[in-house]
Amino acid sequence: MTGQRLTRRECLTRGAGAVVGAAVAAAGGYLLYDPQGDAGLPRSPDLAPGLKNYFEAIDFPAAAPRLSLALGDEQRIEQITRAAVCGLDPQRGMRRFIAAGDVVLIKPNAGFDRPPYLGATTHPAVLRAVIRMCREAGAREVLVTDNPIESPAACFSKTGIDRAVAAEGARLVLPAPHRFAMLKTRDHAPDPQGGEALGRWPVLYEPLARATKLIGIAPVKDHNLASASIVLKNWYGLLGGRRNQFHQAIHAVISDLALLISPTLVIADATRVMLQNGPTGGRISDVAPGGKLGRPTVVAAVDPVACDAWCYQNLLGRDPAQLPYLELAARKIRAAVAAGQKRLGQHDWRAYEREGQITSSSL
């Protein structure tokens, strides 16, 4: 051998280095080995079927009002909102729905880049009143979120919702990608013949998981395809993914959302009702205060389906029998109730009227 002799130490370190390298390569190959390719790997793990029932915790006597409306002047939107909520329980008001320490998620409609007066989005004054009532009832935290069609920052800003949220000390949750999770919306594959549409779908899950109570506040609007966009259609904003496919079965999707999401309380903001050119509107002449009622109105309800039916008839002036998603939703919720869930879903609002479960007040 020529040159310097290899020392024992060098021999061992070099030998060990090569052996360790070979071992790491082999172990890495073994650990990462995948005979199936992408198809065999689980994609994002699906969440268990369904969402929390945010209505579960509410104690609600059988005879208590299911729907309450309040009318008043443009300048008194906060009072109207309070009156509507208190109409459901004159003694406890919001405290019936929100307990001390609750984390409340409020879902307004901020779907479009429109100023509030065009009625395409939730009026910030209604939102402010609801946030304030939640705080008064002892909510630990109030979250506000929506996943608008247009850029979220611009929509929250133009609709005045970001300022309302900031002014009341609530927190705006932007629909950032990491807040979504793939949800199995039902435990079986959807059956299109049975009016089912949603299967696995990305949901704005993070705020929903954090919240203990859920309140939807939706403007009452005409809709080009569904005919109406009220509290049930408002749940679109809790979903992600390619929502533009929903339109291919819009009534099935809206009724699926009615089944999937069981809110604590829903509020229909009819301070300005969009009677035509919905859901975007664009002109003052497209909206009327309170719609067919003619005065700014706020409707609070524990039964979202009845709320949509009532608004469709009394504010938009149309026949709920012609709105397919109402009956579909009622049917799906009935099945859920039969399976033991605590839900309300009556598409015939007159049934409540007959029982005296609709209250109204005028300011």
Binding site for another protein (CB under 8 A): 112-115, 149-154, 157-158, 174, 176-178, 223-225, 242, 244-245, 247-250, 276-277, 279-283, 285-286
| Residue 219 bridge partners (DSSP) | 269
| H helical segments located in 87-189 | 124-136, 152-158, 161-167
Q: How far is the CB of 115 from another protein (least distance, A)?
A: 7
Length of the chain counted residue by residue: 363
* Contact between residue 304 and residue 333 where contact means Cβ atoms under 8 Å apart: no
Alpha-carbon distance of 205 to 207, in angstroms, equals: 6
Q: How far is the CB of 152 from another protein (least distance, A)?
A: 8
Q: How far is the CB of 88 from another protein (least distance, A)?
A: 32
Q: How far is the CB of 151 from another protein (least distance, A)?
A: 4
Q: Which residues contact 172 (CB under 8 A, 6 or more apart)?
A: 144, 145, 156, 161, 162, 165, 166
Question: How would you class 292 by CB atoms within 10 Å of its CB: exposed for 0-12, middle for 13-18, buried for 19 or more?
Answer: middle
Alpha-carbon distance of 304 to 244, in angstroms, equals: 23
> Which CB, 176 or 335, lies closer to another protein?
176
> Which CB, 129 or 253, lies closer to another protein?
253
The residue type of 41 is L
> Which CB, 284 or 337, lies closer to another protein?
284
Q: What is the largest CA-CA distance in the chain?
A: 108
Q: How far is the CB of 296 from another protein (least distance, A)?
A: 21
Alpha-carbon distance of 268 to 329, in angstroms, equals: 18
**Pairing mode, if any, of strands 103-108 and 141-145?**
parallel
Q: How far is the CB of 306 from another protein (least distance, A)?
A: 25
Q: How far is the CB of 193 from another protein (least distance, A)?
A: 11
> Which CB, 227 or 264, lies closer to another protein?
227
The encoded tokens of residue 205 equal 């899950």
> Which CB, 93 or 119, lies closer to another protein?
119
Residue 242's nearest CA partner among 255, 253, 231 is 253
> Which CB, 36 or 244, lies closer to another protein?
244
> Which CB, 250 or 273, lies closer to another protein?
250
